[in-house]
Copies of this chain bind each other. A is one copy, B any other.
């Protein structure tokens, strides 16, 4: 009967578009109204889709919510790893390169739509879905922090920095780069490009005052660091 035995289910073209539209709208609404405050009609309206379609795709409100969180976690992780891969391993201008990296991290991962949504959902509903957010913790922070720490360790090993504990340094780097954005984050706002740059600049300067290699011991005649072999 079925000549299309291939991948079992061959969803129509528009199907995936609807799905994506629902995910988008649901993220927005759950984030704005919290799980309990969100209602399906709101999401349907925002997605430009009928309520029934949402039930067809996701079953019920809770399953939809879980799908959203999983989706955001995945996308954010991808973004973070992509950004980590731009870490300045061989910096020409250490300060400028680290500032640029911090700005990228903030703009692409922390202030992005996905980053903001995921953060808020975790804060708001984390305690209610322990397994779901344990999963996030393992897949997210559990994998990204070591990756960032490894980059700093390499930078230190190459003689650019003077770091004892790369894990601590990585967390402090991020904390410093965000130091001036906390209040804005608290209220769900999105800092301007200028605020991000300011905070990153101040943060990286302090970071380097703490961790920059001290005068290269060897032939320190002026105060310029003659690195490299």
Partner of A123, one of B186, B207, B211: B186
Which residues of B lie under 8 Å from residue A174 when comparing CB positions?
179
Residue A3, interface by CB 8 Å: no
Q: Mark A25-68, 1 if CB is under 8 A from B, else 0.
A: 00000001111110000000000000000000000000000000
Shortest A44–chain B CB gap in Å is: 18
**Shortest Cβ gap from A185 to chain B (Å):** 8
In the complex, the answer to whether B206 meets A137 with C-beta atoms within 8 Å is: no
**B172 lies within 8 A of A179 (CB):** yes
Is A133's beta carbon under 8 Å from chain B?
Answer: yes
Answer whether residue A24 sits at the interface, using C-beta atoms and an 8 A cutoff: no
Contact present for A141 and B183 (CB under 8 Å) = yes
**A69 interfacial by beta-carbon distance below 8 Å:** no
Chain B residues lying within 8 Å of A180, measured Cβ to Cβ, are 168, 171
Residues 176-199 of chain A, each 1 if its beta carbon lies under 8 Å from chain B, else 0: 101110110011100000000000
Q: How far is the CA of A179 from the CA of B126 in the complex (A)?
A: 20
Is there a chain B Cβ closer than 8 Å to A115's Cβ?
A: no
B residues near A176, Cβ cutoff 8 Å? 172, 175-176
A178 CA / B172 CA spacing, docked (Å): 9
Answer yes or no: A223 CB below 8 A from chain B CBs. Answer: yes
Please name the residue on chain B nearest to A220 by beta carbon: B223
In Å, the complex CA distance between A187 and B128 comes to: 10
The residue on B at minimum CB distance from A202 is B168
Residue numbers of A with Cβ under 8 A of B are 32-37, 119-120, 122-124, 126-127, 133, 137, 141, 165, 168, 171-172, 174-176, 178-180, 182-183, 186-188, 202-203, 206-207, 209-211, 215, 220, 223, 225
Q: Which 4 A-B pairs have the closest CB atoms?
A: A36-B37, A175-B179, A209-B210, A210-B210
